[in-house]
Chains A and B, each alone.
Chain A
Amino acid sequence: KNQVEQSPQSLIILEGKNCTLQCNYTVSPFSNLRWYKQDTGRGPVSLTIMTFSENTKSNGRYTATLDADTKQSSLHITASQLSDSASYICVVLSGGSYIPTFGRGTSLIVHP
């Protein structure tokens, strides 16, 4: 069964600090892995999309990594801001289809 596990479930950090969110998956065959940011009361917004051959992809202060051998991904947030407070969702798509497997998300709170 395809699964995506995210950790930690929730995280509280101080403004300006860095943090790393983890995503482990058992989706096969693999097509691509996506990280979304979801603010409270809003729809998810795409941060990065990585295929099998990509190890790292950045979007501003967000950097995602992918290790296809160990089936792990991470999302690193640099110099956090209050606006980074949100849920971060990892999604893996199977090869040849649009059917996604979603993680349950990591809830990040950034305190001033």
Chain B
Amino acid sequence: DAGVIQSPRHEVTEMGQEVTLRCKPISGHDYLFWYRQTMMRGLELLIYFNNNVPIDDSGMPEDRFSAKMPNASFSTLKIQPSEPRDSAVYFCASSPTGHSTDTQYFGPGTRLTVL
């Protein structure tokens, strides 16, 4: 298996622009997670899905952030409009089932820079 796939790997944009990050989870995994990592705040869970349905989005910082999962093999995280403080590495992860001790498999991340 190719693992969790994220694109793009790097994104540089200007303040005010729309940014869309993409994720393909491991085939057969029912859960998908979006995380953000910064030097200041470390890793944070933004939102997670179960069978394509958003379960908890309490970590989404503002209304500028939105996430969708139209099918089992694809999810997007959109920021509109983007701001410099959104600069971070965004990770997508997936896990097989809903058991709390399931291993989560992380993608390589998208490094976002907002100028």
Contact = CB atoms under 8 A, between A and B. Distances in A.
Given A97-B56, A98-B48, A99-B56, A89 B107 contact: no
Interface stretch (B39-47, B62-70, B76-84): B39-47
B45 A100 contact: yes
B100 A98 contact: yes
Given A42-B109, A43-B109, A97-B56, A102 B43 contact: yes
Interface residues of B, number: 23
Interface in A20-69: 31-32, 41-46, 49, 51
Contacts of A32: 100-101
Given A45-B106, A89-B43, A51 B48 contact: no
Interface string B49-63: 000000110110000
B96 interface: no
Determine the interface band of chain A, counting residues with CB < 8 A from chain B: 20 to 34
B17 interface: no
A97 B58 CA distance: 12
Given A44-B91, A89-B42, 20 more contacts: A32-B101, A41-B108, A41-B109, A42-B108, A43-B91, A43-B93, A43-B107, A43-B108, A44-B43, A44-B106, A46-B105, A49-B103, A51-B101, A95-B100, A97-B56, A97-B100, A98-B48, A98-B55, A100-B45, A102-B44
